[in-house]
Amino acid sequence: MAGISKISPVSERDIHYYRQRAKNRIFESLTAFFAEEAERTGVTKRDIAECLHRDPAQITRWLSSPSNLTIDTISDLLLSLGAEMDHTVGKFSDRAQSNEMHPLIARLTASTTPATKAKVEYKQATPNKPYQSLGKMQSNTQTVEARAA
Amino acid sequence: MLFPVIPKARGATVRRALFVSEELNAILNSPEGSQEWEQRVAELRADLEVFVTARTIDPKYLFLLYPSRDAVWEIRSVRDSPSIRVLGLFAGTDVFIATNHALRETLGGWESREWKIVKRTARASWRRLFNSYDPVVDTDVKRLVTGALDGRYFKNFTRK
């Protein structure tokens, strides 16, 4: 049995997708925290730049795109705001489907009520399910005519 | 035909609805290609899912294009190679219809002919899809997207 891996291979696309997702999620947490702090205390990018002995343009660059962040810069930015990140690791298999869903998507994925939602198995392949319009409605006259015929 | 973007990651919350055109859907679900292609497609997907899943939306992520009366917005997927702009219009609050996309490097300056063409394509695609149903015209992103962050926090305004 030696040489047989205990974990299945991951596609190149999934590797890059989860890398980018991780960056986007961290960036979201960071920008949301910065916006909250700015509203609460009035702190600006210039203040952060002074605190970190950096050029304000550097702070602008860091906060302009998830791709510009590194673990070091995240730590620096949060430190300047008197904070640090807390980390948790979650296995996909332990994650439940979220209870919150946009009503339109819930309707399309046929899981409108919380009770139904709980029963519906999580579908990963739903991006392929197309949205189809209801088509042109018949007028009342046409319906009556069709019945009469 | 439109296709909803459903997050690939298990347990992700679908906070907003994003529908993509057939063309964009074909890219997102394209067969395996070169490593560069796989990387860019995966990053684009992750970037589009930000609209669907993120609690807050950064002001540099979603932009209303000029003229605002046309109601054409862009989602920015910013990279060195290449940056992609996904154009679309709002059918309602938190419901974005991505009609077309373009590589940023091909668009030139904001008043270029290429920009005008992609914006016109977005409006034409909307009309083809929805006919007489108008997109939501609003310059305030907060009224269109729940959790949209105020852009002023990211500018260097002085402390009050």
Chain B residue with the nearest C-alpha to that of A56? B156
Q: B56, A28 in Cβ contact below 8 A?
A: yes
Q: How far is B57 from chain A (nearest CA, A)?
A: 8
Place of tokens 């990387």: B39
Q: What is the ipTM of this complex?
A: 0.91
Residue A149: per-residue pLDDT: 35
* DSSP assignment of B92-109: ETTEEEEEEEEEGGGT-S
- Residues of chain A with pLDDT > 90, as a percent, come to 46
pLDDT value of residue A68: 87
Backbone phi, psi, residue B92, to 5°: -175, 180
Please give the CATH topology (third level) of the domain spanning A12-80: 434 Repressor (Amino-terminal Domain) (1.10.260)
- Comparing C-alpha atoms, which of A40, A60, A36 is closest to residue A48? A60
A 89-128: CB under 8 A from B: 90, 92, 95-98, 100-102, 104-106, 108-109, 122-124, 126-128
Residues of B in contact with A98 (CB under 8 A): 11-14
Q: B39 by DSSP, 3-state: which?
A: helix
Interval A51-69 mean pLDDT: 91
Q: Do A21 and B159 touch (CB under 8 A)?
A: no
Residues of CATH 1.10.260 domain(s) within chain A?
12-80
Where chain B has pLDDT below 70, the residues are 152-160
- d(Cα B34, Cα B40) in Å, to the nearest integer? 10
- Contact between residue B82 and residue B106 where contact means Cβ atoms under 8 Å apart: no
pLDDT of residue B80: 77
Report domain extents, chain B. Answer: 2-154
pLDDT tens profile A81-92: 999 999 889 888
Gap from A1 CA to chain B (nearest CA, Å)? 30
Q: What angle do CA A69, B50, A65 make, to 5 degrees?
A: 25
**Chain B residues lying within 8 Å of A47, measured CB to CB:** 159
